[in-house]
Protein backbone atom coordinates (compact mmCIF):
# COMPACT_ATOMS: atom_id res chain seq x y z
CA UNK A 1 0.00 0.00 0.00
CA UNK A 2 1.31 3.45 -0.75
CA UNK A 3 0.71 5.72 2.18
CA UNK A 4 0.89 9.33 1.11
CA UNK A 5 2.25 10.51 4.37
CA UNK A 6 5.22 12.76 4.57
CA UNK A 7 7.26 12.70 7.74
CA UNK A 8 7.95 16.40 7.32
CA UNK A 9 8.66 17.03 10.99
CA UNK A 10 11.03 14.13 11.28
CA UNK A 11 14.15 16.11 10.52
CA UNK A 12 13.59 18.74 13.19
CA UNK A 13 12.50 16.07 15.66
CA UNK A 14 15.69 14.11 15.05
CA UNK A 15 17.66 17.32 15.60
CA UNK A 16 15.83 17.98 18.89
CA UNK A 17 16.52 14.43 20.10
CA UNK A 18 20.21 14.77 19.27
CA UNK A 19 20.27 18.07 21.18
CA UNK A 20 18.70 16.37 24.19
CA UNK A 21 21.34 13.62 24.05
CA UNK A 22 24.04 16.32 24.08
CA UNK A 23 22.38 18.23 26.92
CA UNK A 24 22.05 15.02 28.98
CA UNK A 25 19.80 12.00 28.66
CA UNK A 26 19.54 8.94 30.90
CA UNK A 27 16.42 7.05 29.78
CA UNK A 28 14.25 7.14 26.66
CA UNK A 29 10.56 6.34 26.98
CA UNK A 30 9.00 5.20 23.75
CA UNK A 31 5.25 5.18 23.92
CA UNK A 32 3.88 2.36 21.76
CA UNK A 33 0.37 1.38 20.78
CA UNK A 34 -0.21 -1.96 22.53
CA UNK A 35 -2.38 -3.08 19.59
CA UNK A 36 0.59 -2.72 17.22
CA UNK A 37 3.74 -2.48 19.32
CA UNK A 38 6.18 -3.29 16.52
CA UNK A 39 4.60 -1.09 13.88
CA UNK A 40 4.22 1.89 16.21
CA UNK A 41 7.87 1.83 17.22
CA UNK A 42 10.52 3.90 15.53
CA UNK A 43 13.56 1.85 14.54
CA UNK A 44 15.65 5.03 14.27
CA UNK A 45 15.17 5.93 17.92
CA UNK A 46 17.90 3.67 19.34
CA UNK A 47 20.46 5.15 16.95
CA UNK A 48 19.30 8.72 17.63
CA UNK A 49 19.59 8.21 21.38
CA UNK A 50 22.88 6.32 21.00
CA UNK A 51 21.69 3.24 22.83
CA UNK A 52 20.50 4.94 26.02
CA UNK A 53 18.40 2.65 28.27
CA UNK A 54 14.87 2.41 26.93
CA UNK A 55 11.47 2.07 28.55
CA UNK A 56 8.86 0.76 26.14
CA UNK A 57 5.41 1.77 27.35
CA UNK A 58 2.65 -0.28 25.76
CA UNK A 59 -0.14 2.26 25.92
CA UNK A 60 -3.84 1.63 25.20
CA UNK A 61 -3.48 -1.74 26.90
CA UNK A 62 -7.21 -1.63 27.59
CA UNK A 63 -7.78 -2.03 23.81
CA UNK A 64 -5.16 -4.75 23.29
CA UNK A 65 -5.28 -8.53 23.70
CA UNK A 66 -3.80 -9.23 27.19
CA UNK A 67 -2.07 -12.45 26.04
CA UNK A 68 -0.35 -10.60 23.20
CA UNK A 69 0.55 -7.68 25.46
CA UNK A 70 2.28 -10.21 27.74
CA UNK A 71 4.15 -11.64 24.72
CA UNK A 72 5.31 -8.17 23.65
CA UNK A 73 6.38 -7.29 27.20
CA UNK A 74 8.50 -10.48 27.28
CA UNK A 75 9.94 -9.60 23.90
CA UNK A 76 11.04 -6.12 24.95
CA UNK A 77 12.12 -7.11 28.45
CA UNK A 78 14.51 -9.66 26.90
CA UNK A 79 16.37 -6.89 25.07
CA UNK A 80 19.44 -5.36 26.67
CA UNK A 81 19.01 -2.08 28.60
CA UNK A 82 15.29 -2.23 28.01
CA UNK A 83 12.20 -2.45 30.23
CA UNK A 84 8.61 -2.63 29.12
CA UNK A 85 5.40 -1.84 30.97
CA UNK A 86 1.75 -1.80 29.93
CA UNK A 87 -0.32 1.33 30.46
CA UNK A 88 -3.67 2.97 29.98
CA UNK A 89 -2.74 6.64 29.69
CA UNK A 90 -6.09 7.71 31.06
CA UNK A 91 -5.55 5.84 34.34
CA UNK A 92 -5.56 8.02 37.42
CA UNK A 93 -2.05 7.26 38.60
CA UNK A 94 0.13 5.97 35.75
CA UNK A 95 3.25 7.66 37.13
CA UNK A 96 4.24 5.11 39.75
CA UNK A 97 5.14 2.22 37.41
CA UNK A 98 6.71 4.57 34.92
CA UNK A 99 8.93 6.32 37.47
CA UNK A 100 9.94 3.01 39.07
CA UNK A 101 10.97 1.49 35.72
CA UNK A 102 12.99 4.59 34.75
CA UNK A 103 14.78 4.63 38.10
CA UNK A 104 15.70 0.96 37.70
CA UNK A 105 17.13 1.67 34.24
CA UNK A 106 19.40 4.43 35.55
CA UNK A 107 20.06 3.59 39.21
CA UNK A 108 22.97 6.00 39.58
CA UNK A 109 20.88 9.06 38.83
CA UNK A 110 17.78 10.61 40.28
CA UNK A 111 18.62 13.01 43.07
CA UNK A 112 18.83 16.79 43.25
CA UNK A 113 22.51 16.79 42.28
CA UNK A 114 22.23 14.23 39.52
CA UNK A 115 18.67 14.40 38.26
CA UNK A 116 17.27 11.60 36.15
CA UNK A 117 16.69 13.00 32.65
CA UNK A 118 14.04 11.13 30.71
CA UNK A 119 12.84 11.79 27.18
CA UNK A 120 9.37 10.73 26.07
CA UNK A 121 8.64 10.03 22.39
CA UNK A 122 5.84 8.47 20.42
CA UNK A 123 4.10 8.59 17.06
CA UNK A 124 0.98 10.76 16.69
CA UNK A 125 -2.20 9.51 18.36
CA UNK A 126 -0.37 7.02 20.59
CA UNK A 127 -1.56 8.88 23.68
CA UNK A 128 1.39 11.08 24.58
CA UNK A 129 -0.68 14.19 25.36
CA UNK A 130 -3.13 12.14 27.41
CA UNK A 131 -0.30 10.59 29.40
CA UNK A 132 1.49 13.89 29.96
CA UNK A 133 -1.76 15.55 31.05
CA UNK A 134 -2.39 12.73 33.51
CA UNK A 135 1.19 12.85 34.75
CA UNK A 136 1.21 16.62 35.10
CA UNK A 137 -2.04 16.46 37.11
CA UNK A 138 -1.49 17.97 40.50
CA UNK A 139 1.86 16.48 41.28
CA UNK A 140 4.14 17.79 38.58
CA UNK A 141 5.30 21.32 37.98
CA UNK A 142 5.87 22.46 34.43
CA UNK A 143 8.98 24.57 34.01
CA UNK A 144 10.13 26.58 31.05
CA UNK A 145 12.14 25.60 28.03
CA UNK A 146 15.53 24.12 28.40
CA UNK A 147 18.27 26.44 27.12
CA UNK A 148 20.31 25.16 24.21
CA UNK A 149 17.55 23.02 22.80
CA UNK A 150 16.61 23.78 19.21
CA UNK A 151 12.85 23.51 19.35
CA UNK A 152 10.56 24.17 22.24
CA UNK A 153 11.12 21.29 24.60
CA UNK A 154 8.83 20.87 27.54
CA UNK A 155 10.37 19.93 30.85
CA UNK A 156 8.14 18.36 33.44
CA UNK A 157 9.35 17.79 36.99
CA UNK A 158 7.62 14.58 37.99
CA UNK A 159 9.20 14.43 41.42
CA UNK A 160 12.43 15.61 43.03
CA UNK A 161 15.35 14.72 40.80
CA UNK A 162 13.13 13.33 38.01
CA UNK A 163 12.79 15.37 34.84
CA UNK A 164 10.64 14.30 31.93
CA UNK A 165 11.37 16.00 28.60
CA UNK A 166 8.68 15.97 25.95
CA UNK A 167 10.03 15.66 22.40
CA UNK A 168 8.85 18.50 20.26
CA UNK A 169 7.51 17.55 16.82
CA UNK A 170 6.44 14.22 15.49
CA UNK A 171 8.16 10.93 15.74
CA UNK A 172 7.51 8.96 12.58
CA UNK A 173 8.71 5.55 11.59
CA UNK A 174 9.54 5.09 7.93
CA UNK A 175 6.77 2.84 6.82
CA UNK A 176 8.91 0.27 5.06
CA UNK A 177 6.92 -2.81 6.05
CA UNK A 178 3.59 -2.94 4.21
CA UNK A 179 1.83 -4.62 7.15
CA UNK A 180 2.97 -1.85 9.46
CA UNK A 181 1.42 0.70 7.13
CA UNK A 182 -1.90 -1.15 7.29
CA UNK A 183 -1.77 -1.49 11.05
CA UNK A 184 -0.89 2.16 11.60
CA UNK A 185 -3.70 3.22 9.27
CA UNK A 186 -6.20 0.89 10.97
CA UNK A 187 -5.25 2.22 14.40
CA UNK A 188 -5.95 5.82 13.41
CA UNK A 189 -2.33 6.95 13.59
CA UNK A 190 -2.31 8.16 9.99
CA UNK A 191 -4.46 10.98 8.62
CA UNK A 192 -7.47 9.52 6.79
CA UNK A 193 -6.67 11.28 3.51
CA UNK A 194 -3.34 9.50 3.32
CA UNK A 195 -4.67 6.01 2.62
CA UNK A 196 -7.45 4.04 1.00
CA UNK A 197 -9.89 3.03 3.73
CA UNK A 198 -11.26 0.11 1.76
CA UNK A 199 -7.80 -1.38 1.25
CA UNK A 200 -6.97 -0.96 4.93
CA UNK A 201 -10.32 -2.50 5.95
CA UNK A 202 -9.71 -5.53 3.71
CA UNK A 203 -6.29 -6.04 5.30
CA UNK A 204 -7.85 -5.68 8.74
CA UNK A 205 -10.40 -8.36 7.83
CA UNK A 206 -7.58 -10.67 6.70
CA UNK A 207 -5.77 -10.12 10.02
CA UNK A 208 -8.92 -10.62 12.07
CA UNK A 209 -9.77 -13.81 10.15
CA UNK A 210 -6.31 -15.09 11.06
CA UNK A 211 -6.28 -14.17 14.74
CA UNK A 212 -9.84 -13.39 15.90
CA UNK A 213 -12.36 -14.88 13.41
CA UNK A 214 -15.03 -15.30 16.07
CA UNK A 215 -14.99 -11.56 16.86
CA UNK A 216 -15.93 -10.75 13.27
CA UNK A 217 -18.66 -13.37 13.29
CA UNK A 218 -20.12 -12.21 16.59
CA UNK A 219 -19.98 -8.48 15.94
CA UNK A 220 -21.58 -8.68 12.50
CA UNK A 221 -23.65 -11.78 13.05
CA UNK A 222 -21.93 -13.73 10.28
CA UNK A 223 -22.60 -17.47 10.15
CA UNK A 224 -19.43 -18.01 8.15
CA UNK A 225 -16.53 -15.97 6.84
CA UNK A 226 -16.11 -15.91 3.06
CA UNK A 227 -13.50 -13.95 1.13
CA UNK A 228 -12.29 -10.67 2.63
CA UNK A 229 -14.41 -8.76 0.08
CA UNK A 230 -17.47 -10.85 0.94
CA UNK A 231 -16.97 -10.12 4.65
CA UNK A 232 -16.66 -6.38 4.01
CA UNK A 233 -19.77 -6.48 1.87
CA UNK A 234 -21.65 -8.34 4.60
CA UNK A 235 -20.56 -5.72 7.13
CA UNK A 236 -21.91 -3.06 4.76
CA UNK A 237 -25.25 -4.85 4.52
CA UNK A 238 -25.48 -5.08 8.33
CA UNK A 239 -24.66 -1.39 8.62
CA UNK A 240 -27.20 -0.26 6.03
CA UNK A 241 -24.52 0.87 3.60
CA UNK A 242 -26.59 -0.11 0.55
CA UNK A 243 -27.44 2.31 -2.17
CA UNK A 244 -30.55 2.24 -4.33
CA UNK A 245 -30.39 -0.82 -6.54
CA UNK A 246 -28.91 -2.92 -3.76
CA UNK A 247 -25.16 -2.40 -4.21
CA UNK A 248 -23.12 -1.96 -1.05
CA UNK A 249 -21.09 1.21 -0.58
CA UNK A 250 -17.81 -0.45 0.27
CA UNK A 251 -16.16 2.71 1.61
CA UNK A 252 -19.03 3.08 4.12
CA UNK A 253 -18.59 -0.54 5.14
CA UNK A 254 -14.86 0.11 5.55
CA UNK A 255 -15.51 3.18 7.71
CA UNK A 256 -17.86 1.16 9.91
CA UNK A 257 -15.32 -1.63 10.45
CA UNK A 258 -12.42 0.75 11.12
CA UNK A 259 -14.56 2.76 13.53
CA UNK A 260 -15.51 -0.40 15.42
CA UNK A 261 -11.88 -1.53 15.65
CA UNK A 262 -10.61 1.86 16.83
CA UNK A 263 -13.37 2.19 19.39
CA UNK A 264 -12.76 -1.29 20.82
CA UNK A 265 -16.18 -2.58 19.73
CA UNK A 266 -14.58 -5.73 18.34
CA UNK A 267 -13.07 -6.45 21.74
CA UNK A 268 -9.46 -6.29 22.87
CA UNK A 269 -7.36 -6.97 19.79
CA UNK A 270 -3.65 -6.95 18.93
CA UNK A 271 -2.84 -6.88 15.23
CA UNK A 272 0.67 -8.33 15.28
CA UNK A 273 2.80 -10.75 17.26
CA UNK A 274 6.54 -10.39 17.92
CA UNK A 275 7.19 -13.39 15.64
CA UNK A 276 5.19 -11.92 12.77
CA UNK A 277 6.98 -8.61 13.11
CA UNK A 278 10.37 -10.36 13.08
CA UNK A 279 9.37 -12.29 9.93
CA UNK A 280 8.25 -9.07 8.15
CA UNK A 281 11.53 -7.40 9.07
CA UNK A 282 13.48 -10.40 7.73
CA UNK A 283 11.49 -10.40 4.49
CA UNK A 284 12.20 -6.70 4.06
CA UNK A 285 15.91 -7.18 4.70
CA UNK A 286 16.07 -10.02 2.17
CA UNK A 287 14.04 -8.21 -0.51
P1 LIG B 1 -0.97 12.00 21.00
O2 LIG B 1 -0.74 13.15 21.92
O3 LIG B 1 0.06 10.94 21.14
O4 LIG B 1 -1.17 12.40 19.57
O5 LIG B 1 -2.33 11.26 21.43
P6 LIG B 1 -3.51 11.73 22.40
O7 LIG B 1 -3.07 11.83 23.80
O8 LIG B 1 -4.16 12.93 21.80
O9 LIG B 1 -4.48 10.47 22.29
C10 LIG B 1 -5.07 10.07 21.06
C11 LIG B 1 -6.37 9.35 21.33
O12 LIG B 1 -6.10 8.15 22.06
C13 LIG B 1 -7.35 10.14 22.20
O14 LIG B 1 -8.66 9.78 21.79
C15 LIG B 1 -7.10 9.58 23.59
O16 LIG B 1 -8.21 9.74 24.45
C17 LIG B 1 -6.88 8.13 23.27
N18 LIG B 1 -6.06 7.42 24.29
C19 LIG B 1 -4.86 7.79 24.79
N20 LIG B 1 -4.39 6.88 25.65
C21 LIG B 1 -5.33 5.91 25.70
C22 LIG B 1 -5.41 4.65 26.41
O23 LIG B 1 -4.52 4.23 27.15
N24 LIG B 1 -6.54 3.91 26.17
C25 LIG B 1 -7.53 4.31 25.31
N26 LIG B 1 -8.60 3.51 25.14
N27 LIG B 1 -7.48 5.48 24.64
C28 LIG B 1 -6.38 6.25 24.82
P29 LIG B 1 -9.51 10.68 20.86
O30 LIG B 1 -10.73 9.92 20.48
O31 LIG B 1 -8.66 11.23 19.74
O32 LIG B 1 -9.87 11.89 21.74
P33 LIG B 1 -10.71 11.88 23.12
O34 LIG B 1 -11.43 10.59 23.20
O35 LIG B 1 -9.70 12.02 24.22
O36 LIG B 1 -11.57 13.06 22.98
Nearest CA owner, ligand 1 atom 25: 60
- Domains in the chain (CATH in brackets) are 10-166 (3.40.50.300), 196-286 (1.10.1580.10)
* Cα of 81 from ligand 1 centre, angstroms: 28
Q: 27-84 pLDDT, tens per residue?
A: 999 999 999 999 999 888 888 898 899 999 999 999 999 999 999 999 999 999 999 9
Pairwise pLDDT comparison (235 vs 168), residue with the higher score: 235
Calculate helix-pair angle for 250-263, 178-187, nearest 10 degrees.
Answer: 80
Residue that wins the pLDDT comparison between 59 and 125? 59
8 Å CB contact between 110 and 162: yes
Is there an atom of ligand 1 within 6 Å of 188 CB? no
Per-residue model confidence (pLDDT) at position 132? 87
What global pTM score does this model have?
0.91
Best residue among 30, 57, 125, 154 to mutate for probing ligand 1, ranked by most atoms within 8 Å of CB: 125
ipTM of this complex: 0.96
Per-residue pLDDT tens digits for 193-238: 888 999 999 999 999 999 999 999 999 999 999 999 999 999 999 9
- Ligand 1: atom nearest CA of 132 is 7
Beta carbon of 88 within 6 Å of any ligand 1 atom: yes
Amino acid sequence: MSIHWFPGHMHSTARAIKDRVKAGLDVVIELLDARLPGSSSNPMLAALTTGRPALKVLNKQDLADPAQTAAWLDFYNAQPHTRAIPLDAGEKAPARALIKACRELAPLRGDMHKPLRVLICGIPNVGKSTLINTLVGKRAAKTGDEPGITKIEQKIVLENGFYLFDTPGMMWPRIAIAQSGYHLAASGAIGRNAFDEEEVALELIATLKRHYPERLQQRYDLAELGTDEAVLEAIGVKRGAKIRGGAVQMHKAAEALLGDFRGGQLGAITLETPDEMAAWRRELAEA
